[in-house]
């Protein structure tokens, strides 16, 4: 059992990862933190919680020291669409926040450090089909820029200071527990809510837009698996490609309609279309599969069945 700190514990990934890590390491050993959002009851009542901002290095350091932290999950980030509305804040939280946390982790002798990259690290000059692990990284968004620089920073801290930093490039993540906020792939979550609540959805990307996606249980399992892998197995210290499924917005709408009769989807692309068009359609994650045994479990059909069953209960629409 390790003493763990999760920074950004109220976000889409953090809220589920916190619960899973408290089960694994013991509730008292996992500190959840956020910048300003209220903690949901299952996190607030489930173990220690702290408020601080990753942009404040002294605050990060003092929480790590207070709890004798051994493992860090640094998830605090603005996503792609919000990042385009406020590039300065995205740069500061995503990149300076990462550096503050890496520095504090070094100073505290942290054993393992996790930081999420994303398919947003790729750009229009990257091969879009079966995108390789090592390829062109020329993103067009501030979010993507912070992911590329962040990956290199992680590798730098590993090589120069021996900090055991591990990372994956998440595809769009789909979950029913916490909603994403400010991402380009948010339509793939919103469609389920709107289908159940209103029987229709206005999608902000075109029907033929194909992006790599993953169901949250796979993402949580994969993240914990990477953090448990023996260090000598890991050959990538920037960030591992990670994949599960790829589908178009139209295929997603058709799958939802199988469960919600009469569901209809219309398409009104906005500024997020351009971001989606700059990202890969599918990802080659064979290095993660080879190095630490990554396997996904959910495809579109299996995910949709689970997602709709759980959301109906959550939304009181059984
Ligand atoms: C976003 O859409 O910004 C994120 C991501 C793919 O990193 N979901």
Residues 17 and 165 in one domain: yes
Q: Which atom of ligand 1 is nearest to the CA of 79?
A: 3
Give the total number of structural domains in the chain. Answer: 2
Residue 290 lies in a domain: no
Residues 64 and 153 in one domain: yes
| CA 292/CA 315 separation, integer angstroms | 37
Residues 191 and 301 in one domain: yes
Residues 41 and 124 in one domain: yes
Residues 57 and 148 in one domain: yes
Q: Is the CB of 74 under 6 A from ligand 1?
A: no
Q: Which structural domain, as residue segments, surrounds residue 256? A: 172-214+245-282+297-314
Q: Is the CB of 12 under 6 A from ligand 1?
A: no
The secondary structure of residue 61, as a DSSP letter, is H
Give the residue from 17, 49, 211, 31 showing the smallest Cα distance to 115.
17
CA of 62 to the centre of ligand 1 (A): 30
Please give the angle made by the CA atoms of 188, 189 and 190, to the nearest 5 degrees. Answer: 100
Residue 308 lies in a domain: yes
Q: What is the CATH number of the domain that holds 181?
A: 3.90.25
Residues 236 and 278 in one domain: no
Residues 64 and 95 in one domain: yes
Residue 278 lies in a domain: yes
Q: Which atom of ligand 1 is nearest to the CA of 118?
A: 7
Strand ranges across the sheet with 164-166: 49-51, 30-34, 4-7, 71-74, 112-114, 164-166
Q: What is the pLDDT along the chain (318 residues), one digit of tens a residue?
A: 899 999 999 999 999 999 999 999 999 999 999 998 889 999 999 999 999 999 999 999 999 999 999 999 999 999 999 999 999 999 999 999 999 999 999 999 999 999 999 999 999 999 999 999 999 999 999 999 999 999 999 999 999 999 999 999 999 999 999 988 899 999 999 999 999 999 999 999 999 999 999 999 999 999 999 999 999 999 999 999 999 999 999 999 999 999 999 999 999 999 999 999 999 999 999 999 999 999 999 999 999 999 999 999 999 998
Residue 302 lies in a domain: yes
Atom 8 in ligand 1: which residue has the minimum CA distance?
A: 172
Residue 291 lies in a domain: no
Residue 295's pLDDT is what? 98
Q: What is the CATH number of the domain that holds 106?
A: 3.40.50.720
Structure tokens at 126: 């990257």
| CA 163/CA 69 separation, integer angstroms | 14
Residue 192 lies in a domain: yes
Please give the angle made by the CA atoms of 257, 263 and 267, to the nearest 5 degrees. Answer: 100
Orientation angle between helical segments 187-198 and 249-259, nearest 10 degrees? 30
Residue 117's pLDDT is what? 98
Residue 109 lies in a domain: yes
Atom 6 in ligand 1: which residue has the minimum CA distance?
A: 172
CA of 209 to the centre of ligand 1 (A): 14
Q: CA-CA distances (angstroms) from residue 151 to 99, 174, 292, 304?
A: 11, 23, 19, 32
Residue 292 lies in a domain: no
Residues 263 and 305 in one domain: yes
Structure tokens at 26: 């013991």
Residues 19 and 145 in one domain: yes
Q: Which of 82, 83, 120 to mutate to test the pocket of ligand 1 (most atoms within 8 A of CB)?
A: 120
Residues 209 and 307 in one domain: yes
> Is 94:150 a contact under the CB 8 Å cutoff?
yes
| CA 281/CA 235 separation, integer angstroms | 25
Residues 83 and 160 in one domain: yes
Residues 147 and 167 in one domain: yes
Quick check: helix, strand or coil at residue 11? coil
- What is the pTM (predicted TM-score) of this model? 0.98
| Alpha helices (H) in the chain, listed in sequence order | 12-25, 41-44, 57-67, 80-85, 87-90, 97-107, 142-161, 187-198, 216-228, 249-259, 272-277, 286-292, 300-314
Quick check: helix, strand or coil at residue 117? strand
């Amino acid at each position: 059992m390790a003493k763990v700190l999760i920074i950004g514990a109220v976000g889409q990934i953090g809220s589920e990862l916190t619960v899973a890590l408290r089960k694994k390491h013991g509730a008292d050993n996992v500190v959840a933190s956020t910048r300003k959002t209220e903690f949901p009851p299952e996190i607030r009542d489930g173990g220690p919680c702290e408020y601080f901002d990753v942009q404040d290095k002294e605050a990060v350091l003092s929480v790590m020291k207070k709890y004798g932290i051994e493992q860090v999950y640094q998830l605090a980030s603005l996503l792609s669409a919000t990042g385009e509305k406020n590039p300065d804040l995205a740069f500061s939280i995503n990149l300076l926040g990462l550096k503050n946390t890496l520095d504090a982790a070094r100073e505290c002798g942290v054993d393992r450090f996790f930081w999420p990259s994303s398919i947003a690290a790729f750009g229009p000059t990257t091969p879009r089909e079966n995108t390789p692990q090592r390829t062109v990284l020329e993103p067009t968004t501030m979010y993507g820029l912070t992911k590329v620089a962040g990956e290199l920073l992680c590798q730098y801290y590993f090589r120069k200071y021996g900090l055991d930093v591990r990372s994956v490039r998440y595809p769009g993540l789909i979950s029913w527990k916490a909603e994403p906020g400010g991402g380009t792939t948010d339509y793939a979550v919103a469609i389920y809510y709107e289908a159940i609540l209103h029987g229709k959805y206005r999608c902000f990307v075109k029907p033929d837009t194909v992006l790599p996606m993953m169901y949250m249980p796979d993402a949580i399992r994969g993240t914990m698996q990477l953090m448990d892998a023996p260090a000598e197995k890991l050959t990538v210290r920037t960030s591992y490609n990670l994949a599960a499924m790829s589908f178009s917005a139209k295929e997603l709408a058709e799958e939802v309609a199988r469960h919600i009769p009469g569901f209809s989807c219309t398409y009104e692309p906005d500024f997020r279309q351009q971001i989606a068009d700059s990202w890969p359609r599918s990802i080659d994650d064979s290095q993660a599969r080879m190095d630490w045994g990554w396997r996904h479990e959910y495809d579109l059909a299996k995910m949709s069945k689970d997602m709709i069953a759980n959301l109906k209960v959550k939304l009181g629409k059984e």
